[in-house]
Chain A
Amino acid sequence: MQPFHKTEGIMMAEKKQIIMFWGRRCPHCRAMEPIVQKLEEEEGIKFERLEVWENKENADKMRALSDIIKPACGGYLGTPAFHDPNRNSALCGEKPYETLRDWALAKMDG
């Protein structure tokens, strides 16, 4: 069951939010962008894109999640790294559409 909240009197389904840490010269990040866009369009998932090499604040946000991201990235702060704040789960690297979709739509106990 999706969580609901009231917005201007209409019951709206909350969009699932995923953080995507990416690097501007990372080829895997470029390859993932069309897949991420497709997921946004087809599944209504909202991806918050945080570039980490140009933006120190974003880099610090990523570093603060080291305990979650590093194990998913083979021991490093790899990019692209996807983080689901609700489940505190991470997925890392260039992945097929289905893999990212299934991970992003997984429930708390999934």
Chain B
Amino acid sequence: MRGKTFYRCTVCNDIHYGNIAPKICPTCSSKDAYVHIAEREAGVTLKFLKIEEGKNFNENEVLKTFEDFTKSKDFTLNTDKERIELIVQGVLEHEEQYGLKYCPCRMTSGNFDEDLSLICPCNFKIQNNWKEIGECWCSLFIKRKE
């Protein structure tokens, strides 16, 4: 048990503060879509923290949140450790610079609300890449083999 902490719905970016992540998002009704996030990501997403405020997760903590996010899902983390490491470094660099873990394989538009869809993990199941090859755009999350 982590104690009270922040969770983000990867589909609609709803933020929850509590002991566990909601099974069903009360905003968009998505199932099992929440990921554990740092206070800073919660604060910047909801615009109550400035980019320079709050505390980020470190590399291991982010990796742990990604691993936890894949539990009991139809996708898992890519087995290419080098690729995962590069992506984790990328999202952390972006969080340091912009306050949010923007995808390292897509560029921001400059519109804050539109760019919320680029926070990793994103709602990748709506992407063509997922539908066509079973991977998120970065290939961080890949479809489990049957």
Contact = CB atoms under 8 A, between A and B. Distances in A.
A63 interface: yes
Interface in B118-146: 118, 127-129, 137-139
A25 B89 contact: yes
B137 A25 contact: no
Contacts of A100: none
Given A21-B107, A59-B107, A28 B139 contact: yes
Most interface-central of B82, B83, B107, B127 (chain A CB within 10 A): B107
Interface residues of A, number: 23
Contacts of A66: 109
B86 A78 contact: no
Interface string A67-110: 00000011111110000000000000100000000000000000
Contact of A23 (B80, B104, B110, B139): B104
A45 to B, nearest CB: 23
B106 A78 contact: yes
B118 A23 contact: no
Among B83, B128, B137, B139, which residue has the most Cβ atoms of chain A within 10 A?
B137
B46 interface: no
A27 B139 contact: yes
13 contacts: A25-B86, A25-B90, A27-B105, A28-B138, A52-B107, A53-B94, A66-B109, A73-B106, A74-B137, A77-B106, A78-B105, A78-B106, A79-B106
